[in-house]
Amino acid sequence: MPTDTGYESSNVVQTLGFTTPTPTETPTATVTPNPTLIAALFAAATEVAKPPFQTTSFAVRAGTYYSFSFPLVQSGSTIEIQFTTTGGSNDVKFGIEGPTGAYVVDDGRVYGTQSVTYTVEQTGSYRLIFDNSYSIFTSKAVILRYRVYQ
């Protein structure tokens, strides 16, 4: 059995600043789409899952070059690499050789840390060339991170 507090319930609700919708009212909310947020969500949902980077290291002796091969890469794939050269002036000549033997990327002499992304145009074998043939005395150490994905 309810007790009488001396207040009518509608007065308490109005005093506290709340309003109670009548049973015939339907609460509505207006949502304005954010085009920037929608574009970001779409881009994230459609982005290709990239594999993790693989890491290797090697020395490029003075007067020589070192090649690192990707035996069969499909057209449309991406070769993504990051490398750091140390020794001497921390430099090495760098390029990517395509299936025909011609350079598809020829960055020339590069220093320190480099990042290269190449989209493959022709299916075939690709080689990363680290050239230290210009050096007479100094070997170079290279730490290479790479991944290939469609």
Inform me whether the pLDDT recorded for 15 exceeds 90.
Answer: no
C-beta of residue 122 within 8 angstroms of C-beta of residue 98? yes
Q: Considering the domain boundaries, does residue 114 fall inside one?
A: yes
Q: Considering the domain boundaries, does residue 35 fall inside one?
A: no
Q: Considering the domain boundaries, does residue 31 fall inside one?
A: no
Give me the helices (H) in 1-150, please.
Answer: 9-16, 35-46
What dihedral do alpha carbons 43, 44, 45, 50 form, nearest 10°? Answer: 110
Q: Considering the domain boundaries, does residue 66 fall inside one?
A: yes
Strands (E) located in 74-112: 78-86, 91-97, 103-111
- Domain with 142, as residue range(s), is 54-149
CA distance 117 to 101: 19
Per the structure, how many domains does the chain have?
A: 1
What is the value of pTM for the model shown? 0.69
Q: What is the pLDDT of residues 80-125, one digit of tens each?
A: 999 999 999 999 999 999 999 999 999 999 999 999 999 999 999 9
Q: Give the H or E element holding residue 74.
A: none
